[in-house]
Structures are given as C-alpha cells and as structure tokens.
Amino acid sequence: MRFDGAWRLEAGALAKHIAARTLVADLKSMHSLELGSGPGKPVRLAIVKDAVAVKGDPELSEQAYRLRLTPQAIEITGNSGAGLFYGVQTFLQLLKRAPDGSFELPVASIEDWPRLALRFLHWDTKHHQDRMETIKRYLDWSARFKANMIGFELEDKFAYPSNPAIGAPGAFTPAQLQEIVDYGLERFIQVVPVIQAPAHMAYVLKHPQYARLRADGNNYQSCLCLEDTYKLIFRMYDDVIAATKGVKYLYVSTDEIYYAGIGANCKEPYNPVNRSLKWAEFARRARDHAASRGRRILAWLEYPLLTEHLERLPSDIIDGVIGEEDYVPVENKKGMRQLAYVSLQGAEFLFPDHFNSGDSAGRLQQTYSAIAQGRHWKANPMGVFGAAWDDSGLHSETFWLGWSAAARWGWNPGTPGVEQHAAEFMNVYYGPRVTGMVEIYRSLQRQARSWQRTWDRVTSRVRAPGYGNSYAKGRGAERTDLTLEPPAKPQPADLALGPRFVPKYTDFLAEARARSGENDQLLHALAANFLRAERNRYNLEVFDALARFIGHHWDLLAGMADAERALGRASESAKKNDARRAVGEMVRAYNTVQRLDREGAERFAHLTAVFEKSRFPKGREVNGRKFVHVLDDTKDHWADRTPDLGYMQAPERSIGLDAWRKELYGVLQTYAKKNSVPIRGLAEARLEE
C-alpha cells in the first residue's frame, strides 16, 4: 500500500513521546516524508497495557507491540512506552521505496516481542574517549536496532570524584555521564557502567598513590587481601552509581582475575582452592555493596572460580559469560539468570572479521550460532552481551554490523540468517541506494588481515615481558611488535650490496601486488557509495581512511623493494665504472624512500583527523594535566604501545627509514665526490625513468 503525505499522525497525549518524535523525525530525515496535519488517513499511536498477551517475564511483556497496517489506517500499539517505541522502529524499517519513487508498506498485522529481555551492546573506551555528540548518535542507532542496554566500559574516561587521579584528562564528569544516561533512558536504553576491577586495573594502579594495592607488585590486578582495595573499588562503584541515576544494573567486571589471593599481603597459601574462594568473596561483597545502593550486578563467572564455590554466590547475580559448562546445573539449582555472551571483535587489527574466510567462521556466523545454540539455553538466559574491544586500532564505526546483529538475534534468536541480516543492515544503516556494501566489508576485512600478516613479529622494544596469564605467572609473557627490515644499503667504498629485503619478503611482496589492486577498487567503491549513501556517511569516511592507511602499506612494501633493486643496479654500475649511472640509481632509491616516508606521514595524519571527528585525541592534555601512560602488565594490547594514536604508525616508524635515508645520503655523497659526479634530483617525489 502507498504511504505519503496523505497520512496524518494521530497521537493525542503521546504527541511529545519519544516514539512519536522519532517517527516524525526519522520519516523526514531518512525519507523526506512529512505527515499531514489536516484531514487524512490516520497513523495512530497508543499505549495499552497487555494489548499483546505475553506469558512469562514481565520485562518481555513491556517491550511487546502490535502493528496493524491497512490502506485505511495504521495502528502502532505498545504494551508500554518501550513497546510503542519498538513498534515505531519496525514500522520505519518496513517502509520501502517503490520503483516509481513513492513509498510503500505491506498490508499486515504484526504482534512482536523479544525472546531475551536485555540486549547489551558493549562500548569499550579503554583507548579512546568519544565526543558527546558521537555517544548520542550511537544511542540513537542502538535504539533503532532495539538494543536496550549499553555496557559502558569507562575505565579512566570518567572523573571519579572520590579519586580524581584515576580519571584521564578531560574524562566525563558526573554531570556529563548522567546526561548520557538520561538521553539513553528516554530511548529505553540503560547505560550500565562497566568497572574493570579488581583485574585489568592498570588504569588505576599505574598511579603512585595506588601502588601499595598492587597484587604481587604488578599493575594488572589489585590485591584482594587488602581491605583498602575493597574500599577503593567500592568508592568507584558509588561514584558511577551516583552519576547513572535511573539505571537498574551495575556491571561488576570479574573478568580474568587470574591471581586472586596472591602476594605478600595474603595469609592463606596461594592455590586453586584459596584463589577461587577469594574470587567468590569479592563477587559476593561487590553484589552486597551494589544491592545496598539499589543495583543488581552482572558479573563474568569464569576462571578461577571453582564450580563448588559457585554455591557461595547470591542467586540474583546475573552471569554474563558462563565460563564453564559445569556452572549450568548449579546456576539452575540456584535460580540464577545469564547473558548469552558473544565477541564481535577480539584481536583483529583495523577491521573485524565479520564474514567467513576459508575454513574460519566470521564473527557474524559465530554470533548467530552462539546466541541461537549456546549453552545459556541449558540455563535461564535473560539477555545477550555483544562485546567489541577497542584494543587493536578499530574505530567504533567498524562494529555496527556486529552490534546490530547481537541486538537483532537477542530479540529473535536464530532468524534471520547471516546473509539476510547483513543485506538488511546495509539498507537500514546507509540507505537503499548504496550498492555492493557487503563486498566492501569483505574487501576491508581481507585488506586488514593481509596488513596484519605482512609484518615481522619481533620481541617488543617498548614492552617488558608480561606478568602471565590464566595458566601461570610468566606464561604468555613474551610481548611482540610489528616491524620490517629496511632495504639493504651499499658499502661506502665500492657500493657492494647483498640484497636482503626482496629475498626475505617474497611472499609479502606477492601479497602486496595482489592487495594493491583490490585496495584501489575498494577506494572507488567507497567513493561511489559516499555519493549514494543517505545516512552515516561518516562511517564510510572512516572506512576510506582505513583503506588508504592500509593501501600505503602495499606501496611501502613495493617501494622498499624498488629502492633495494635500484641500489642493486647502482652496485652493478659501480662494478662497470659507470659512476654517473650508480649515482642516479642511488638518487632514485633515496627519493623512493623519501616519498614513502612522506606519504606514510600524510596517510596517518589523515586517519587521525578522520578518527578525531568523533572522538577526542588519545592521551590528550587538558588544562595542563597530562595523561599518565603505563603499559598493562598482562594484556598485549596494540593500542597500549603509545599514549596517542601513534601506535597505528609505530610499525612503520620502527623500520627506521629516516635513519636509513640519512645513511644512504652519506654513502651517496662520498661516492659522488670520489668519482666527481654531480648529484641531481635528490629528494624529489617523482621517479625519473
């Protein structure tokens, strides 16, 4: 049926409700449609308790809605305000452009409600701080995908009033965090603070005044045998609870507490039993403290908690990960609830593995399968948590396909399939005129994985060995950096050269040749869709900046090989006493590397400028207060390498091309002077044929 300006809004007392405002605003901004104000066919909005009969969890019933679409009238009815809001989102997604340019809707009657009450999207801000307008935009889009929870991993991006040293310069104030929360609540989204403690606490323990709380002397974990540790963490809880009024939950991250009960302050022997007991003690006390403030906690129940100690935990703790299969019967006996945990990105650099590649299942397929078939269904799940980490240089714009999938499959596990969701996401997020977006995502994924493969991994020059992992202290301790060897340089006396770059990196160079052409096609496809996209063009701008950043890597590999080959020709010319040709080839090599160095700086500057349109500069100084940069003792986070965004350029900087060029310049000057050959064209960007 046709939908146009002949329809009018009939909302009555709900005219100022967020559902009505969203309907009017999105029709205008996304479709250039305005509902009439005079006589016409009605679009009726209403809230009627129990309009849709839903058995079971009251939270599911509150989110239910009924949508009736007929040529004479449209009715969107919610069991509550949330249900009405979700009905409006479905209505907007059903609206399609007809071949003649008009808009049409199906004639239908829909009753709908979610399978899982809580649909968490994870915002990880360890290594960046989003601007306020960015966060509000993220909340708008989260609401469109029917997410109703945000796990906001704040770390030092919140100014803790009780401990001002913890908050990074420019961190969100309590008033700003409450503003974010209120904006979300209006859209039926709870912004739930996630506090990393007692592990992953380098953001706290790096400060000298908290050094005495370090477990076993490491920055990674606070000591659970000191009462002051509890006092500090619980004051942090109180700070975020006070700044998130209206939120029902607190996410107590019991993530990877590898060494509970270790250190000189602990009286009991450090062993698996005492470690588990100390873990359980922390979880119980955290729950009791949060409950006294009116909050229900979510926690990651996992190693090192032993199954027999699960009985010690209060039954109202929500298990956010179900770390062991053996936990399920105990949790069922206690009546505990769970979240279906999925990781939408983990250790990938630059861009997630959204799609299947070879024999490896992509994040989308893993998310689909995990939510539909995971072990949480053996228990009593109440939600889904879609985690996406910012540790590996990924901009949040790269997460939306995965975030939307977690929210959608949390609403209706098992349907639709991966392919349909991806296609429909592209239509909703960018508008119906974009083309080939799935292939753009696949291409960026291939480019990012190839970029990640085509570096040497060497023992880190900036990171000391790590403290350890869940297996033992010292395990997994080696830290590695990405780098490449520079091209070989000729000997000053006779220009003798033993090639090393080209022979060593034969496979890398072949990959660079293959990916360079694909990168060019990717940039053209992004440019074309930038013209077609009706919304979220900034997302495409981020993708373009990433593609250009990666594309420079292919130029870097090819260019360094060209420089070494030119120096090889210079060496051969010197053997033939052709000094003029030898000097010319050295100039060619010098100019090639100089161009690569300049272009690398330009691509990184462009990437930084694009990223910082939506986020503040990483590690910034505010009002004379400088960011304290200390590396995590345990996790090998790429983004830890530098206090600023420079970690993304660090692999290229580590090659030392500036020093290489200076050394080559010395060889060139010496040889040219010795052979009375003038040096022409040095440091020009173009290559002479």
Say which CATH number the domain at 107 has.
3.30.379.10
Q: Is residue 204 a contact partner of residue 210, using CB atoms and an 8 Å limit?
A: yes
Alpha-carbon gap, residue 606 to 542, rounded angstroms = 10
Reported confidence tier of residue 688, pLDDT bands at 50, 70, 90:
very low
pLDDT digits over 478-508, tens only? 788 999 999 999 999 899 999 999 999 999 9
* Token duo for residue 179: 């503003």
**Cβ count near 29 (within 10 Å):** 11
Confidence (pLDDT) at 37: 75
What percent of the chain stands above pLDDT 90? 87
> Is 357 in the same domain as 498?
no
Confidence (pLDDT) at 473: 62
Alpha-carbon gap, residue 590 to 515, rounded angstroms = 25
Cβ density class 371-407: b for 16+ within 10 Å, e for less: beebebeebebbbbbbbbbbbbbbbbbbbbbbbbbbb
pLDDT digits over 189-207, tens only? 999 999 999 999 999 999 9
Closest CA to 323 of 304, 306, 307, 302: 302
Kindly state the DSSP code that residue 248 receives in the 8-state scheme.
-
Report angle CA 629, 345, 157 to the nearest 5 degrees.
35
**Helices then strands, each counted (H, E), the chain:** 19, 18
> Is 341 in the same domain as 240?
yes
> Is 213 in the same domain as 309?
yes
Reported confidence tier of residue 307, pLDDT bands at 50, 70, 90:
very high
* Token duo for residue 549: 């950043």
Residue that has been written with the tokens 């006390």 in this structure? 285
User: How many domains would you assign to the chain?
Assistant: 3
Q: Is residue 129 a contact partner of residue 424, using CB atoms and an 8 Å limit?
A: no
Kindly state the DSSP code that residue 615 receives in the 8-state scheme.
B
Structure pTM? 0.96
Residue that has been written with the tokens 């929870």 in this structure? 149
Judged on CB neighbours under 10 Å (0-12, 13-18, 19+), 59 is middle
Torsion of CA 656, 662, 665, 671, to 10 degrees: -90
Check pLDDT > 90 for residue 100: no
Q: Is pLDDT larger for residue 641 or for residue 531?
A: 531
Q: Which helix (H) or strand (E) holds 152?
A: strand 149-153
Q: Is residue 588 a contact partner of residue 683, using CB atoms and an 8 Å limit?
A: no
> Is 49 in the same domain as 133?
no
DSSP-derived pairing of the beta strands 65-69 and 108-112: antiparallel
Check pLDDT > 90 for residue 214: yes
Would you say residue 390 lies in a domain? Answer: yes
Range of the domain at 314: 118-416
Check pLDDT > 80 for residue 208: yes
Judged on CB neighbours under 10 Å (0-12, 13-18, 19+), 163 is middle
Poorest-confidence range of 31-40, 339-348, 538-547, 630-639? 630-639
Confidence (pLDDT) at 391: 87
> Is 182 in the same domain as 50?
no
Check pLDDT > 80 for residue 631: no
Q: Which helix (H) or strand (E) holds 277?
A: helix 272-292
Confidence (pLDDT) at 470: 65
Confidence (pLDDT) at 475: 58
Strand partners, 298: 251, 318
pLDDT digits over 104-158, tens only? 999 999 999 999 999 999 999 999 999 999 999 999 999 999 999 999 999 999 9
Strand partners, 42: 8
Cis preceding linkage at 164, omega within 30: no
* Token duo for residue 104: 């049409």
Check pLDDT > 90 for residue 40: no
Confidence (pLDDT) at 476: 60
Is residue 8 helix, strand or coil? strand
Would you say residue 626 lies in a domain? Answer: no
Would you say residue 427 lies in a domain? Answer: no
Picking from 390, 416, 442, the residue at the C-terminal end of a domain is 416
> Is 169 in the same domain as 317?
yes
DSSP structure string for 244-280: STT--EEEEE-TT-TTTT-STT--S--SHHHHHHHHH
Alpha-carbon gap, residue 462 to 100, rounded angstroms = 61
> Is 396 in the same domain as 515?
no
Alpha-carbon gap, residue 609 to 18, rounded angstroms = 34
Would you say residue 534 lies in a domain? Answer: yes
Reported confidence tier of residue 253, pLDDT bands at 50, 70, 90:
confident
Would you say residue 441 lies in a domain? Answer: no
Would you say residue 299 lies in a domain? Answer: yes
Closest CA to 223 of 286, 266, 253: 266
Check pLDDT > 60 for residue 689: no
Check pLDDT > 50 for residue 90: yes
Cα dihedral sign for 400, 401, 402, 405?
positive
Picking from 112, 140, 159, the residue at the C-terminal end of a domain is 112
Q: Is residue 495 a contact partner of residue 571, using CB atoms and an 8 Å limit?
A: yes
> Is 151 in the same domain as 105?
no
Q: Is residue 454 a contact partner of residue 349, using CB atoms and an 8 Å limit?
A: no
> Is 460 in the same domain as 599?
yes
Residue that has been written with the tokens 């900036």 in this structure? 462
Check pLDDT > 50 for residue 52: yes
pLDDT digits over 403-437, tens only? 999 999 999 999 999 999 999 999 999 999 999 99
Would you say residue 476 lies in a domain? Answer: no
pLDDT digits over 450-474, tens only? 999 999 999 887 776 667 666 666 6
Name residue 330's amino acid.
V
Please name the residues in contact with 565: beta carbons below 8 A apart, sequence gap of 6 or more.
Answer: 502
Say which CATH number the domain at 387 has.
3.20.20.80
> Is 397 in the same domain as 515?
no
> Is 186 in the same domain as 233?
yes
Reported confidence tier of residue 227, pLDDT bands at 50, 70, 90:
very high
Check pLDDT > 50 for residue 685: no
Alpha-carbon gap, residue 437 to 217, rounded angstroms = 49
Would you say residue 360 lies in a domain? Answer: yes
> Is 204 in the same domain as 134?
yes
Picking from 80, 112, 144, the residue at the C-terminal end of a domain is 112
pLDDT digits over 564-589, tens only? 999 999 999 999 999 999 999 999 99
Residues in the chain: 689
Confidence (pLDDT) at 292: 98
What is the rounded average pLDDT of the residues 96-100?
Answer: 88
